[in-house]
A = this chain, B = another copy of it.
Amino acid sequence: MDFPGAHILSIQQFQREDIERVFRTADRMEPYAQRTKLTRVLEGAILGNMFFEASTRTRISFGSAFNLLGGEVRESVGMDSSSLIKGESLEDTARVLSGFSDVICMRHPEAGSVAKFASASRVPVLNGGDGSNEHPSQALLDLYTIEKELLARGRGIDDLRIAMVGDLKHGRTVHSLSKLLSLFRNIRVVLVSPTELAMPEELVELLKVAGHQVTVTESLEASIADVDIVYSTRIQEERFSDRAEADLYRGRFRLNQAIYTKHCDPNTVIMHPLPRDSRAEANELDSDLDANPNLAIFRQTDNGLLVRMALFALILDVTQLLEKYEQPIPWHNSRDPRLKPLDDQA
């Protein structure tokens, strides 16, 4: 994949060397995201952040990523009912909107819609999630997190041991992650789910064809004993025909500190695509894990910002210009230790 001017629609576009390029670019974004450095390389550029389906965290993450590089954001939230009622095709919408910005990020509830939109767009389009189909930046941030978390442990994506837990049937993130993992070597994947919510057969096949070792099980405790990563997922309630059906599975695989201490190797990394369901009846990841330094779930979303910055920088071909457009930061970096905990404020 040649990034400058490219659409980013699917993780299937990515070869191993492309992933490597995204991750090494993401590494360089850390000081800008941490506010120890400021770059204005995209000053004057405009992102069209078109979320035809609401998603606060992903929308803000894309918008902030563009702002952190110095660019501007124009935004839409929710389905444009007026144009739909008036019978406009998605291609016409693309022809119009692509005249207003330098790059577009788009989320849409319908599978395939973003690719259709991109086919008529005059500027690069980044898929921010098209229904149950693709959400490439999420898959990349998951893999980037795995790489980063394991680096300090002297381990890598090759030879990884990972347990994926929960609703593996509907979870878009575990599907995409499996596809990405098929590009790497010698991985052991444990798939933990109720039989009814098992990983689709073609994805299991894909992992096996890649030479990986796949185990399917319904037992959480046994599965998390010898892995580097426990990747927990939410029961995707909204994909079930009714809430009662989802309730059958909710809370089946709970991880808390006691289970972690008893069954996991020390330093086993806990991941989750978020939001985690913290209601008592679900509680996939108990809040008593919040003090566990191996809980990587918020580092995941932080890494999402870095990966999205990297994608923008690669598409707009400014990776070699980041430093040239640096400026001093005059304001107080509120992420430093001077941000006191709430109780200490008088």
Chain B residues whose C-beta falls within 8 Å of the C-beta of A345 in the assembled complex? 1, 6-7, 13
Q: Bound state CA distance, A59 and B310, in angstroms?
A: 29
B340 touching A6, Cβ below 8 Å: yes
Counting every copy of the chain, the complex holds 3
CA distance A96 to B74 in the complex (A): 22
Task: Assess A339 versus B122: contact at CB under 8 Å? Given A1-B345, A275-B92.
Answer: yes
Q: How far is the CB of A261 from chain B (nearest CB, A)?
A: 22
If A60-B76, A342-B119 touch, whether A82 touches B55 (CB-CB below 8 Å) is: yes
Stretch at the interface among A152-160, A184-192, A194-202, A298-306: A298-306
Contacts of A80 in B (CB 8 A): 54, 56
Q: How many residues of A contact B (CB 8 A)?
A: 100
Select A122's contact among B101, B119, B331, B335, beta carbons within 8 Å: B335
Tell yes or no: A136 within 8 A of B by CB.
no
Would you call A330 and B321 a contact (CB within 8 A)? yes
Asked if A43 lies at the interface with its beta carbon under 8 angstroms from chain B, I say: yes
**Chain B residues with CB below 8 A from A33, complex form:** 99
- Interface status of A67 (Cβ within 8 A of chain B): yes
Main secondary structure of the interface of A (DSSP, over half): loop
Residue in B72, B96, B122, B327 whose CB lies within 8 Å of A57: B96
Q: Are A68 and B46 in contact (CB under 8 A)?
A: yes
Residues of chain A whose beta carbon lies under 8 Å from any beta carbon of chain B: 1, 4-7, 9, 13, 15, 33, 35, 38, 40-46, 48, 54-57, 59-61, 63-64, 67-68, 70, 72-77, 80-83, 85-89, 92-93, 95-97, 99-103, 115, 118-119, 122-124, 234, 237-238, 274-279, 282, 287, 298, 301-302, 305, 315-318, 321, 324-325, 327, 329-336, 338-342, 345-346
> 10 shortest A-B CB distances, which residue pairs?
A88-B275, A87-B277, A317-B332, A64-B100, A316-B331, A87-B279, A56-B80, A5-B339, A5-B338, A89-B278
Query: Can you show 30 pairs from A to B with CB atoms below 8 A apart?
Result: A1-B345, A1-B346, A5-B334, A5-B338, A6-B345, A7-B342, A13-B345, A13-B346, A15-B346, A33-B99, A46-B67, A46-B68, A56-B83, A57-B96, A64-B100, A64-B101, A67-B74, A86-B277, A87-B277, A88-B275, A88-B276, A88-B277, A88-B278, A89-B287, A92-B274, A92-B276, A99-B305, A124-B339, A316-B332, A317-B332
